[in-house]
Structure 1
Amino acid sequence: MLPLRNTHHTTAIMPSYNLRRANLVITILAGLLVIAISTITCAFHSTSLTTSIIARDATSQFDDADLYENSTSLPHLNAKPVWPPWSKSPYEIYYGKGCKLWMMLQEGTAPAAKYNAVDDLAEWGWKNSMDWSDATVKRVVGSIEAPLADQGVTLGGGINVNVQSDHSEPYGEENGGKPTKGKYYEVYNPAQGAIIAYRNYGPGYVVENNAAWGDAALPDLKNWSDVVFLTWLSLTVGNEAQRKGLKIVVRVNVMNEDTRDVIEEALRKEGVASGNAPVWPGHVFEPGKISGKGLKPFQAVLGTPNVGGIVWMLAQHIDELDKKTITGIRVWDKSGLDNQDAGVLPCIMVHIGPA
């Protein structure tokens, strides 16, 4: 009977042992499978985002500077991800965009610009109206005269020009030739290396939000970065030092809700409890600084509609502007309400230096 008991005992224990071992193997394999899927997914989305950025000229990214609509931006960058299944916050979405843009700027991998000749503006229906009077310049951007002076930029002396770039002229018949009434209004100061954007309604925004222009095709030359670069080029003809001397780009009275929301969260991550931009000299987001959850506020703000176009301009025109980098993104409230919730008027100053 003893052998029978041993046999019975063995047959009772071995299946249990084998089952535990099988479960362990399954657990290990499942873990490896999850890691593999995660790796493939990350690689897929990295490639997808990079491809989307490279394809930027085929659609309309950063088309509108102050009033920006997701419908006019790259669908691949704004669409909810298929994997992972959880949704991302606006901060995380723009952080992802900012990381890709930052990499593109640092590595010099931006696609070649399609438009490099000043005449391209007129060909695509853009008309630049210029006013060099100090009175006009101070009327449109005089509210930030003191902050500009702190950066060595003066509004007097006839060295600033107010340029109203209007998409107001007929253009190529193959595109319908109908102007969209889009507009990019900036003050340019080539002598001191500054561009100040104060009113921007890109063609994409106008067509999307005006029924009267609903049948108008968007011009191929429609992005803020292209129009502003070509205008800068026209103002620095024959003066290489000025053309390559861009130091700051300012966005006055930022109205875009996505940009404002991202700035608010980024400020909180860097210790500004209210999320409101401080009065001048404001708060500076610096490259490489990590705050909260391991995400970099600098990259998040860099990816927003009001800053991303500046990256494109620098990245696509290295030959004309030299290899540049962004050394900091300053945000401040110019409302004079000292960081109160009501009536905050955030402004952005992008600091540019040699790479």
Structure 2
Amino acid sequence: MSTSSNNGSFFGLLGPPRLSLMCLLLQVLVISTLPTTTATTTPPPPVSLDADDGLTRRAEPYPEFPSHYQGRVEKGRYLLDLMSVDNAGAAQRNGGASVVSPFQNFKDLTRWGWSRHILRYPYTDSRPGSLQAPFYEDFLDDAFQDPDHPVLKRQMLVVAYWHDQWFFGKDSLEKVMPSFGHYDNVAAPISGAFVFDQNWSPRYQQKKYKKGNVPELDHLSDIAFFEWVEACQDRGFNPKELKLMFRSHITYVPTLKVLQKALRDKGLKKYPFWKKRAVFKTDTPEAAAILGSTHGAGAAWMLIQHKDALGVKKITDIAVWAYKKKPSLFSRGGCSFDEDPDDCIVNIRFIVEDA
């Protein structure tokens, strides 16, 4: 589920409803012995040779944009400008401030309390506490079968990073409690595809449940980058082959409002189904608004802040469509904007190309 409000929990009060505290404790005890769900304790080769220990933050500020629709358009255009040039060019366009993430090495994950887990297709590990199949179920199947941009489901794997390890805070001499946030996403390196699936940020978890601590390494764009690279290493592919990014099952109201305005401006009165999906070229204000939304910006920042590993990439077009869980005679042609987002499953696909 792709939500900014992250309406879920990790266990009971600290996680997704499908996990319990006992299950998580069992998982922590036995994860190194599981044959299907893999907990990575020895980091794979680093993404770069950067010796940075992850202690630095994104020190330079980024501009603020209004939260209204035109503000999303402005933010999207700003992100597009940063996306299409190399690091030096992006810094110049960002007022001289570097856009490179300080987190480029897998050791940063361990430093800030993240554990790493992989579950490969066909996702058959049903033991308590293990990873489960993608939350999006079959909602994306039509998109995966696009002949121009096919995604091979049998080659997919869930890559999940859980903030469940005690860690040293920035100014702490003792280890502090983790937030129990988690980012569970899905990758098909053979197809160049990455799906943002279930994401509950440490900041959201800590704010909602008043427990745990937020690590310096907490942004979805950074974690998704590491997950993509790890998936590529697992399958033997180059991370620079990223071609498709999906945001699945969007329920976050501010993003939905942006999508609805963009669709209305395109002459649509409801979310279309896949066969009549709405496609926006990124030189349009509608595409810029979508890219400037919470769900667009996360994908954009992943590309912008990790150019060394991913290459200089740009998003060329954006598709928006819905999947109806319970179709009826009244749902021909799409879902109405006021339908329950748990029945009208709204999705976005970004086409990624070399800039």
TM-score where L is the length of structure 2: 0.69
Matched, 1:346 2:346: yes
Query: CA 1:65–1:238 in 2, change beyond 3 Å: closer, same or farther?
Result: closer
User: CA-atom RMSD, angstroms?
Assistant: 2.4
Matched, 1:286 2:305: no
| Cα shift at 1:329 | 1.0
User: Where do 1:255-270 residues align within 5 Å?
Assistant: 255-270=251-266
Specify the SS of the correspondent of 1:325: strand
8 Å contact 2:142–2:274 — kept in the other structure? Answer: no
Query: CA 1:129–1:140 in 2, change beyond 3 Å: closer, same or farther?
Result: farther
User: Where do 1:1-355 residues align within 5 Å?
Assistant: 66-68=3-5, 77=64, 90-108=68-86, 109=90, 111-135=99-123, 137=133, 140-150=136-146, 151-156=149-154, 159-173=155-169, 174-175=171-172, 177-211=176-210, 213=211, 216-237=212-233, 242-272=238-268, 274=269, 276-281=270-275, 282-289=277-284, 296-335=285-324, 336=327, 337=331, 338-340=334-336, 341-343=338-340, 344-355=344-355
- More helix by percentage: 1
Q: Distance in 2 between matches of 1:138 and 1:101?
A: 29
8 Å contact 1:284–1:329 — kept in the other structure? Answer: yes
Larger Rg: 1
Which AA in structure 2 matches 1:258? P
Query: CA 1:319–1:93 in 2, change beyond 3 Å: closer, same or farther?
Result: same
Which AA in structure 2 matches 1:127? S
Q: Deviations over 1:260-298 (max 9, x none)?
A: 0011011111111x2x32000411111223xxxxxx111
| Cα shift at 1:195 | 0.8
Stretches of structure 2 lacking an aligned partner (at least 5 in a row): 7-60, 92-98, 124-131
| Cα shift at 1:133 | 2.9
Which AA in structure 2 matches 1:153? V
Specify the SS of the correspondent of 1:271: coil
Q: Distance in 1 between matches of 2:214 and 2:69?
A: 29
Q: Deviations over 1:24-72 (max 9, x none)?
A: xxxxxxxxxxxxxxxxxxxxxxxxxxxxxxxxxxxxxxxx951249xxx
Stretches of structure 1 lacking an aligned partner (at least 5 in a row): 1-63, 79-87, 290-295
Q: Distance in 2 between matches of 1:75 and 1:258?
A: 21
8 Å contact 1:167–1:181 — kept in the other structure? Answer: yes
Q: Distance in 2 between matches of 1:346 and 1:238?
A: 30
Query: CA 1:139–1:346 in 2, change beyond 3 Å: closer, same or farther?
Result: closer
Q: Distance in 1 between matches of 2:321 and 2:227?
A: 27
Q: Which residue of 2 aligns with 1:12?
A: none
Q: Distance in 2 between matches of 1:324 and 1:89?
A: 26
Which AA in structure 1 matches 2:101? A
Which AA in structure 2 matches 1:287? T
Query: CA 1:138–1:183 in 2, change beyond 3 Å: closer, same or farther?
Result: closer
| Cα shift at 1:153 | 0.4
| Cα shift at 1:251 | 1.0
- More strand by percentage: 2
Identity fraction in percent:
24
Query: CA 1:89–1:172 in 2, change beyond 3 Å: closer, same or farther?
Result: closer
| Cα shift at 1:154 | 1.9
Q: Distance in 2 between matches of 1:271 and 1:310?
A: 26
Which AA in structure 1 matches 2:64? L
Q: Which residue of 1 aligns with 2:46?
A: none
Specify the SS of the correspondent of 1:334: strand
8 Å contact 1:285–1:330 — kept in the other structure? Answer: yes
Query: CA 1:315–1:168 in 2, change beyond 3 Å: closer, same or farther?
Result: same
Q: Deviations over 1:229-274 (max 9, x none)?
A: 11222232398853111111111110111110011011111111x2
